[in-house]
């Protein structure tokens, strides 16, 4: 199982040319988001965005909780995907990253509780009808997703310094 220290160690290996890390969260905006939307965010996500509120790696983004100096936030995407689209996401899904085709990696918050730090990560295909759109399980936890998809898929393309991976 990965820890916050493991993830931060991996992220800090990347050149500033390919990674942008937001500032730490020093206020109660995480709790405010949870109360406003009646969800519990997974502990591993909260730990990471408390340190880096929004992460962007080679154009892929993990949304932070505003205000941040990035075009999209967890709030703006949650609002749009739950209230402004033809096929809204179920309330228990919280989209935290996009595949850049309008689909989202989401926390399935039905399984977040005080005893567990894990939260299933599912893939939501936007635009499909609700009958066709059962989210696909991608990873068992946010940290597994970060290591496999956010970091791992990036390292399939480039080295930590940003040079192409031949």
Percent of the chain whose pLDDT exceeds 70: 92
Instruction: Please give the model's pTM, rounded to 2 decimal places.
Output: 0.91
Question: CA 41, CA 85: separation in Å to the nearest integer?
Answer: 23
CA–CA–CA angle 11, 39, 6 (5° rounding): 20
- What are the boundaries of each domain within the chain? 4-157
- Sequence-distant (6+) residues with CB within 8 A of 104 are 77, 81, 89, 95, 96, 97, 98, 123, 124, 126
Q: What is the CATH topology of the domain spanning 4-157?
A: SMI1/KNR4-like (3.40.1580)
Would you say 41 and 33 are in contact if contact means Cβ atoms under 8 Å apart?
yes
Say if residue 47's pLDDT is above 90.
yes
Range with the largest mean pLDDT of 26-35, 66-75, 114-123, 131-140: 26-35
pLDDT in tens, 93-142: 999 999 988 899 999 998 876 565 678 999 999 876 555 667 899 999 99
């Amino acid at each position: 199982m990965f820890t916050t220290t493991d993830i931060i160690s991996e992220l800090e290996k990347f050149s500033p040319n390919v990674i942008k890390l937001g500032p730490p969260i020093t206020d109660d905006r995480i709790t405010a988001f949870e109360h406003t939307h009646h969800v519990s965010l997974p502990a591993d996500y909260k730990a990471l965005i408390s340190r880096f509120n929004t992460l962007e790696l080679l154009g892929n983004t993990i949304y932070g909780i505003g205000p941040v100096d990035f075009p999209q936030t967890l709030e703006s995407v949650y609002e749009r995907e739950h209230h402004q689209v033809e096929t809204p996401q179920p309330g228990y899904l919280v989209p935290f990253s996009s595949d850049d085709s309008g689909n989202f990696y989401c926390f399935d918050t039905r399984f977040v509780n005080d005893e567990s730090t894990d939260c299933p990560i599912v893939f939501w295909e936007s635009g499909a009808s609700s009958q066709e759109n059962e989210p696909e399980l991608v990873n068992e936890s946010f940290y597994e997703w970060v290591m496999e998809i956010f970091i791992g898929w990036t390292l399939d393309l480039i080295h930590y310094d940003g040079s192409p991976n031949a």
